Amino acid sequence: MTNLGSSTTDFRLDGKVAVVTGAGSGIGRAIALKFATYGASVRILEMNQRDAEATCQEIIAAGGNASFHIVDVTRQDEVKSRFQEMCSKERIHILVNNAGVSHIGTVESTTEADFERILRVNVKGYYNCIHASIGHMKASGGGVILNIASIAGSSGLSDRFAYSISKGAVIAMTYSVAKDYLSHNIRCNCISPARVHTPFVDNYLLSNYPGREKEMFDKLSHAQPIGRMGAPGEVATFALFLCSEDASFITGVDYPLDGGFVNLR
């Protein structure tokens, strides 16, 4: 993480409070660090306390403002309580819905328990956070909501039945919220990454292809026409732009961030 305040480019978030879910690792962590570097006070919602503390401490060590709240986004009572606590102290300007889980399987191999878990985290979790924060944003003069979706939500991917359904729902949710809250100065967009190199990818390869990790990593990398996976920091940079005032004319858009996957295969 660069020293805070060192950025001289646009897309500043000075004076903004940003809530980022699932910011203990991967894309969420990269977004939290990027937002803090560009001036935001970051509030981390995370289930893993160790990871939440690590992200928070890195921001604070660099001179930023951050705190974390341990919460299960699938539990509406917990989510409402945390947002009420935060909103009683400060205005929330930005919500980034990122916390999610993945799943591999077809409709035949996906169990009912797996299906319900994916929808509970990836769809209900996003709904719970928007539901808990949007009234505050309305009363405070507006805000920005950014949902992290996936190209799986709009493209046919093998063995991603439940995951694809959940991310398709996130894209639809984005359009609906953007439409309903235009008059309240609330923007809502989503980013749909292709494969991004996160700890999940490494753990997946280790668990499913022991001894063949490098071979399979190369294969997965070249699934993107550009020839590599994305980096969490690249998603974070795009998120920074979409949540900044420089993107104030943008709402109700799903942005593929995919190395050419959708249009160039």
The radius of gyration of the chain's CA atoms, rounded to the nearest angstrom, is 18
Q: Please provide the DSSP assignment of 82-102 as one string.
A: HHHHHHTTS---EEEE-----
Report which DSSP code applies to 122: I
The candidate with the shortest Cα–Cα distance to 232, out of 119, 154, 148, 146, is 148
**CA atoms of 47 and 215, how far apart (whole Å):** 33
The candidate with the shortest Cα–Cα distance to 30, out of 44, 16, 13, is 44
**CA atoms of 18 and 91, how far apart (whole Å):** 9
Classify 67 as helix, strand or coil: strand
CB 22 within 8 A of CB 51: no
**CA atoms of 150 and 227, how far apart (whole Å):** 18
Please name the residue that has the structure tokens 């008059």: 183
**CA atoms of 15 and 12, how far apart (whole Å):** 9
Sign, CA torsion 66/71/76/81:
negative
**CA atoms of 32 and 42, how far apart (whole Å):** 6
Q: Write down how long the chain is.
A: 265
User: Which residues are the active-site residues?
Assistant: 163
The candidate with the shortest Cα–Cα distance to 18, out of 67, 75, 58, is 67
